[in-house]
Amino acid sequence: MAHLTDIEIAQAKELQHIKHIAAKLQVAEDDLEMYGKYKAKLPLNLIDEEKIKENNLVLVTALTPTPAGEGKTTVSIGLTEGLNIIEKQATVVLREPSLGPVFGIKGGAAGGGYSQVVPMEDINLHFTGDFNAIEKANNLLSALIDNNLQSKTNNLNIDPRTILWKRVIDMNDRSLRQITIGLGGTANGIPREDGFNITPASEVMAILCMATSFDDLKERLGNIFIGFTFDNKPVFARDLKAQDAMAILLKDAIKPNLVQTLEENPAIIHGGPFANIAQGTNTIIATKMGLSLSNYVVTEAGFGADLGAEKFLNIKSQYAGLNPKCVVLVVTIRALRHHGGSPKEEYNTPNVARVQNGFENVEKHIENIRKFHIEPVVAINSFISDSDEEVQFVIDACSELGVQAVVSEGWAKGGEGTINLAKAVVDVVENKATHYKPLYDWKSPVKEKIEIIAKEIYGADGVTYDKKAELNLRRINRLGFNDFAVCMAKTQKSFSDDERLIGRPKGFTVNVREIEIAAGAQFIIPILGKMMRMPGLPANPASENMSIDNSGVISGLS
Ligand SMILES: Nc1ncnc2c1ncn2[C@@H]1O[C@H](COP(=O)(O)OP(=O)(O)O)[C@@H](O)[C@H]1O
Ligand SMILES: O=COP(=O)(O)O
Ligand SMILES: [Mg+2]
């Protein structure tokens, strides 16, 4: 088959009017909030807690990925197509793409090949404006904080040196990481250090993902912890009366978005946090919406299972009362070669010895998934460069662990390429499902929660804490936030906090540099190693290969 690019495949598709996709979910056209012919928002009153309990949630995760990504989103979409082919009514529920990767290295997040959600250009660019709304709500709070510093009347006496809240922009722009604001004299505000994070790292994004209703969203926004006054009293967004104005900016963003797959199956896309610096899962509202309207929901969580899946299971599922019945672990031969020692230029060169050496990474992820009392299915996301010998090794090695490994050809063939994977997933869901169990109780002591994740999921021998992290623990205790979930900020390239340790590192400890507080999201965020919340563009950004013609046809978007 001639190799068309992702965007060529997507543009060749004649889309169904979104009302026909909604009809597959028994949602009437009048219930839709249309954004043109191919996008719509779904009203929150369609969420049905009883239906959620009856339907089946499947989580797609991956082994420790290479920078290109190993195909979670692509396999999630392909699996959904395959489930619908075998008569299981399935909806895929995904996160919204960030413009950072779109114009940076990785590209969009609408899948690939013949497993995509469409209209891919819209989804990868401005979609329905949710990222814009999140950005403005975040930056309104920043403006209100600096306005209060300047105020002569209702000044809260905030100590500018303690302000933790950063501005955000959805772009990879390293020049904005650390800036000085308020220059130019008394009319321009109080000079202080500030900086921009990328929008997926905003706590407003995390709050949108954790909110279970509009009232809950508003309360969480008010709980955002900003910093301290000069007499060391904590300051929250509610002290600036910011929560309602921020919620007004999010009044549409809280509703999940409905689009379609290439095979005209429903796709709900909502929220967009990264899993290395945030929780990396789509919104609770979108997952519940999908489960209210479909027999099967296939969803994904960012990067490897040590990040997105750990947070999906310990944070999102535990908080929202979700019960994932199967975890699909996406494995690529390319990533196994990498973990077996292949240099980047040999990622696409068959080498069964490297695959054998790298398999220890998969073994650890399988062990981890089972710690949540969930049975995994391994999806070997088939790449052109895979050799039969390497694939057979993975199938046999998984079989020795009692795990079914199935070749997934969704990228090349769409749903026809994932029927076997769909059948394997249905077998686990319908015949081997247990009740998932989180690894820790949010009410456990903070250090205990951190150590459970580090030891059980990363395989660390222990956890060390810098002095700043110990001080942060005392602050968390003083503020009464010990019962928050732990949202680890760690490199996605290794189980450890050292990106050079590939495969299944052993005999290491992880070091907590500091612990941030996201009081609105109810997370504490241990920062392991160097974490970047504002990525930079690469030497040759993807933007250089993009073009748009006079009739608006885009090329180069992936
Ligand atoms: N089987 C495959 N063959 C070739 N390219 C693929 C395949 N699966 C995914 N890709 C491409 O790899 C990139 C990452 O895929 P994606 O599904 O976004 O991964 P993840 O969600 O794990 O980051 C995308 O550009 C996608 O088109
Ligand atoms: O948070 C990262 O998500 P992907 O792994 O899908 O890029
Ligand atoms: Mg993805």
pLDDT tens string 506-545: 999 999 999 999 999 999 999 998 778 999 999 999 999 9
Q: Report the alpha-carbon distance of residue 89 to residue 217 in Å, rounded.
A: 30
For the residues 312-320, what does the mean pLDDT come to? Answer: 98
Q: Report the alpha-carbon distance of residue 408 to residue 253 in Å, rounded.
A: 34
Interhelix angle 203-210/214-222, nearest 10 degrees: 150
Q: Report the alpha-carbon distance of residue 243 to residue 256 in Å, rounded.
A: 21
72: CA distance to ligand 3 center in Å?
Answer: 5
- Grade residue 434 by pLDDT with cuts at 50, 70 and 90: confident
Q: Whose CA is nearest to atom 2 of ligand 2?
A: 302
Q: Indicate the residue type of 113.
A: G
pLDDT at 2: 53
**3-class SS string, 226-286:** EEEECCCCEEEHHHHCCHHHHHHHCCCCCCCEEEEECCCCEEEECCCCCCCCCCCECCHHH
29: CA distance to ligand 2 center in Å?
Answer: 32
278: CA distance to ligand 2 center in Å?
Answer: 11
Q: Report the alpha-carbon distance of residue 41 to residue 128 in Å, rounded.
A: 8
pLDDT at 532: 82
> Is 69 labeled as ligand-binding?
yes
Q: Report the alpha-carbon distance of residue 297 to residue 269 in Å, rounded.
A: 12
210 and 223 in contact (C-beta within 8 Å)? Answer: no
Cβ neighbors of 186 (< 8 A, separation 6 or more) are none
> Which DSSP string corresponds to 320-346?
HT--EEEEEEEE-HHHHHHHTT--GGG
Q: Which of 78-87, 430-439, 448-457 has the lowest mean pLDDT?
A: 430-439
Residue 360's Cβ-side half-sphere holds a number of Cα atoms within 13 Å equal to 17
144 and 242 in contact (C-beta within 8 Å)? Answer: yes
* 3-class SS of residue 431: helix
Catalytic residue (one of 39, 95, 316, 354): 95
Q: Is 280 in the pocket of ligand 2 (CB under 6 A)?
A: yes
* Burial classification of residue 231, based on how many CB atoms lie within 10 Å of its CB (0-12 exposed, 13-18 middle, 19 or more buried): exposed
Pairing state of beta strands 225-228 and 234-236?
A: antiparallel
Q: Is 72 in the pocket of ligand 2 (CB under 6 A)?
A: yes
Q: Is 302 in the pocket of ligand 2 (CB under 6 A)?
A: yes
pTM: 0.98
Q: Work out which ligand 1 atom sits closest to the CA atom of 76.
A: 17
pLDDT at 529: 83
pLDDT at 384: 96
Catalytic residue (one of 19, 51, 106, 238): 106
Least Cα distance to 356 among 316, 325, 397, 318 occurs for 397
CA 24 to chain centre: 26
Least Cα distance to 131 among 210, 201, 73, 71 occurs for 201
* CA trace torsion 145, 151, 153, 159 (10° rounding): 60
Q: DSSP strand E in 421-475: where? A: 462-465
* 3-class SS of residue 169: strand
The β-bridge partners of 40 are 34, 258
Q: Report the alpha-carbon distance of residue 374 to residue 467 in Å, rounded.
A: 37
pLDDT at 227: 97
Helix or strand (DSSP H, E) at 167: strand 167-169
* CA trace torsion 288, 62, 83, 55 (10° rounding): -30
For the residues 58-76, what does the mean pLDDT come to? Answer: 97
Q: Work out which ligand 2 atom sits closest to the CA atom of 72.
A: 6
For the residues 465-492, what does the mean pLDDT come to? Answer: 98
383 carries an active-site annotation: yes
> Is 311 labeled as ligand-binding?
no
442 carries an active-site annotation: no
Pocket, ligand 1, Cβ cutoff 6 A: 6, 62, 68-74, 107, 109, 111-113, 381-383, 411, 558
Q: Report the alpha-carbon distance of residue 100 to residue 103 in Å, rounded.
A: 6
275 carries an active-site annotation: yes
The predicted complex's ipTM stands at 0.99
501 and 509 in contact (C-beta within 8 Å)? Answer: no
Say what percent of the chain tops pLDDT 90.
Answer: 97
Say how many C-beta atoms besides its own lie within 10 A of residue 12's C-beta: 9
Cβ neighbors of 142 (< 8 A, separation 6 or more) are 165, 166, 167, 194
| b/e burial code for range 280-318 (CB count within 10 A of at least 16 → b) | bbbbbbbbbbbbbbbebbbbbbbbbbbbbbbbbbbbbbb
Catalytic residue (one of 19, 238, 383, 455): 383
480: CA distance to ligand 2 center in Å?
Answer: 32
For the residues 367-386, what does the mean pLDDT come to? Answer: 98
CA dist 23 → 20, 57, 260, 294 (Å): 5, 21, 12, 12
**SS percent in the chain: helix, strand, coil, step 5:** 40, 20, 40
Kindly tell me the sign of the dihedral angle through the C-alpha atoms of 247, 252, 253, 255: positive
Average pLDDT value over all residues in the chain: 97
303 carries an active-site annotation: yes
Q: Indicate the residue type of 84.
A: N
- What does the block give as tokens for 289? 């919406």
> Is 70 labeled as ligand-binding?
yes
Q: Which of the listed residues 60, 95, 199 should we mutate to test ligand 2's pocket, taking the one with most ligand atoms within 8 A of CB?
A: 95
pLDDT tens column, 128-183: 999 999 999 999 999 999 999 999 999 999 999 999 999 999 999 999 999 999 99
Which ligand has its closest atom nearest to the C-alpha of 302?
2
Q: Report the alpha-carbon distance of residue 312 to residue 508 in Å, rounded.
A: 25
CA 60 to chain centre: 11
* Burial classification of residue 6, based on how many CB atoms lie within 10 Å of its CB (0-12 exposed, 13-18 middle, 19 or more buried): buried
217 and 133 in contact (C-beta within 8 Å)? Answer: no
End-to-end CA distance of the chain: 19
- What does the block give as tokens for 411? 């990228």
- Grade residue 209 by pLDDT with cuts at 50, 70 and 90: very high
For the residues 246-272, what does the mean pLDDT come to? Answer: 98
Q: Is 275 in the pocket of ligand 2 (CB under 6 A)?
A: yes
Catalytic residue (one of 10, 41, 64, 74): 74
- Grade residue 339 by pLDDT with cuts at 50, 70 and 90: very high
Rg (CA), the chain: 23
